[in-house]
A and B are shown apart, each in its own frame.
Chain A
Amino acid sequence: MAKYAMAVDLSRCQGCRACMEACKIENNTPQGVFWMYVFRTESGEYPNTKVDFLPRPCQQCNNPPCVKVCPVGARFQRDDGIVLTDYDRCIGCRYCEVACPYGVNYYNWRKPEEAFADYNVDYKDPDIAAATGGLIPPYKNPALDRLQGTEQRLTAGSAHNVGVMEKCTFCVQRVDKGLDPACVDVCPVHALHFGDIEDANSPISQYVNRQTGFKLLEELGTDPSVFYLNGTPPGSDTREIERPLTEVGS
């Protein structure tokens, strides 16, 4: 059985946030929801400040606090290490969200038809049709509605139904087909790497073993599957430069 992991080369990341965009397109996440999120941070005092970037997918912990606290087993970990949410089973208590030290969980506060309100562009409008060349993009990725893996559970994102929790799935619908997650595929500078960490000959194992790195908040005993290479963890004076302006609701 493979054990999936991700490696993030911080010396390569330039904070372009293409991974966030790719994630939104692949997983059709609602407004204000970022399964993949890239921190743009600064630290130090002027004039000696430093800017850093820190991509934050779900850390896919091997000792996941979110799985432990789920009262109904909707959050679970597969044998290949991917931590997923069963959207049919989640009761929306949001305990996983408060238990997670990384803040990767996103609750569906709105009904899908309203959550996508700002994306619902009328592509048949003559002005917009002129700009898009008459193309009508698909509303949603059909793969998200399929049951995933040997466990055959609805875990890939579904329709982002109201009142359930969701988070980064390592793009389980792609991984099960042998593809890399969307963020890894799209990264223009190869800062993100994905693969089987238990296979010593896999590219990601070679990549991780050759370089120094850290895992986020490793002291909490969560044992994440995301490795950060060639960089330093955020310190106590690291602060976010700006936060996304897309607010949920008014």
Chain B
Amino acid sequence: MTADTLPTTDPGSIRRPNEELPQKIGQLSPSWIAFFIAMSVITAVGIYAYLLQINNGLIVTGLRGLGSMAGATWGLYVAYYVYFIGVSFAGITVAALIRIFRIEKLEPVARIGELLTVVSLILGALAIMADLEHPWRAIVNLFQYGRPQSPFFGTFTMVIAGYLFASLVYLYVTSRRDAAILAEHDSRFKGLYRILAAGYTDTREQRRTDRQVTFWLAITILPMLVIAHSTVGFVFGLQTGRPGWFGALQAPGFVVLAGVSGIGNLIMLAAIVRSATRTKGRITLDAFAWLGKLLLGLLITYLYFTAVEILTITYQPGATELNLSEALLEGTYAWIFWGAIVALVAAAALLTWQALTRRWSITVVFATGVLVNIGAVAKRYLIVVPSQTHGQLLPYSTGTYTPNWVEWAIIIGLFALGALMIGAFMKIFPIVPLEETDSP
């Protein structure tokens, strides 16, 4: 951005482009400027914490070794890495469902979802990088010596490379038409739109090609999605050495909880976009009702998995599993565990009530989005941490782990970075696809 295009706080003095773009693109109101400044500051604090960690080693975090050091070696970073990867479930699933089953009601939220997928995958990758002391060595060595036998290999290739790449292609292909339309307007982003449109012409032939491309891409991405989220589950589910991790339910559980947190996030973001871009006419209550029903289905499946899990670890547990289940259900982690259950059950109850009465409210659906995400973060934390502090198989002392400010600063910084990316996108490109009638 050059100096003469820099917006000022007084809306009256903004050098307006000749034509106004839809959805307030390119216009920065004072509240938007405040938003960008606030998010930049939070991101900067995160970067400061990260530099502190790079310079001093992971000693500045609350993480410590397992065993005789009685700590947890994986903590907040890994929990949020799993959470961010889970959130990426939403976008592409919804976008693919729209293309495959022709659900037109959801069409306006498709791009929000695709963007959410791309952003959360980037955040997931950054979260796992924050966990490593030598990020550059990690990148080089993973290329040079990567071993497919390690469940982490799937994380780096399948999830962060393949899935992210496919999502970016999907986002691009479905955005070209809008770029072509906007390139006709005389705006400061005209050059960008022309590059993005890349010679797109809105002919019948071109639309048909695009529809076919997105359809087949959607068909390929869906199995990829299940595999990608399963590999994250395998990081834990294949380890016999940690009570509470080993189990066949881990991979499907990860896929379903990914769906819950992803759809929940999509609902929240769609509601925010709806009021921020004045697209209330486009994103209808029907779309929220549809997403609410999808969320309810996934949530009930996840609650069923949780019930099965609780029964399995309490009915006749081995000595080490008993130690872990006591810590989870009535010990150190009980407040997190029962808090998560209350949040998830409350969300399920709200959604069921709305589905039964057929009276949907965006506020209530938004609230369920918040509730399921609180539940999802808590459950991710409980998968990662207790099996380390309370899951020792040799007679080590019970461990403790409390995330300290460095870890929180980096994680909150990641959220702010994500908000910045989404906010910047909203100010450069229509986040709600333009209507069919908006022809070039």
Contacts and interface: CB of A to CB of B under 8 A. Distances in A.
Contact of B73 (A69, A94, A234, A238): A94
B31 to A, nearest CB: 41
A141 to B, nearest CB: 22
B308 to A, nearest CB: 24
Contacts of A72: 141-142, 144-147
B147 A101 contact: no
A95 B132 CA distance: 11
Interface string B373-408: 000000000000000100011111100000000000
Contacts of B393: 101-102, 217, 220
Given A162-B57, A238-B395, A34 B132 contact: no
A220 B57 contact: no
B435 to A, nearest CB: 47
B18 interface: no
A234 B147 CA distance: 35
Interface stretch (A123-131, A178-186, A202-210, A242-250): A242-250
B319 A236 contact: yes
Contacts of B235: 95
Contact of B138 (A91, A240, A243): A91
Interface stretch (A77-85, A105-113, A169-177, A188-196): A105-113
A73 B153 CA distance: 11
A248 B66 CA distance: 12
B240 interface: yes
B394 A103 contact: yes
B395 A239 contact: yes
A248 B240 contact: no
Contacts of B153: 71
Contacts, number: 154
A91 B137 contact: yes
Given A89-B145, A163-B58, A101 B150 contact: no
Contacts of B395: 39, 41, 54, 234, 238-240
A69 B153 CA distance: 9
Nearest to B392: A103
A134 interface: no
A97 B138 contact: no
Given A41-B395, A73-B147, A93 B57 contact: no
Contacts of A249: 59, 64
B142 A106 contact: no
B201 interface: no
Contacts of B65: 32, 97, 105-107, 109, 248
Nearest to A41: B395
Nearest to B72: A98
A92 B150 contact: no
A248 B59 contact: yes
A92 B65 CA distance: 12
B150 A71 contact: yes
Contacts of A89: 141, 145
A20 B235 CA distance: 33
A86 to B, nearest CB: 9
A143 interface: no
A221 interface: yes
Contacts of B134: 91-92, 163-164
A109 B150 contact: no
Nearest to B63: A109
B69 interface: yes
Contact of B240 (A65, A74, A107): A65
A74 B122 CA distance: 26
A93 B58 CA distance: 11
Contact of B68 (A34, A94, A163): A34
17 contacts: A34-B68, A37-B67, A65-B240, A71-B150, A71-B152, A72-B145, A74-B145, A91-B141, A92-B138, A94-B74, A98-B66, A99-B242, A103-B392, A114-B59, A216-B394, A240-B396, A249-B64
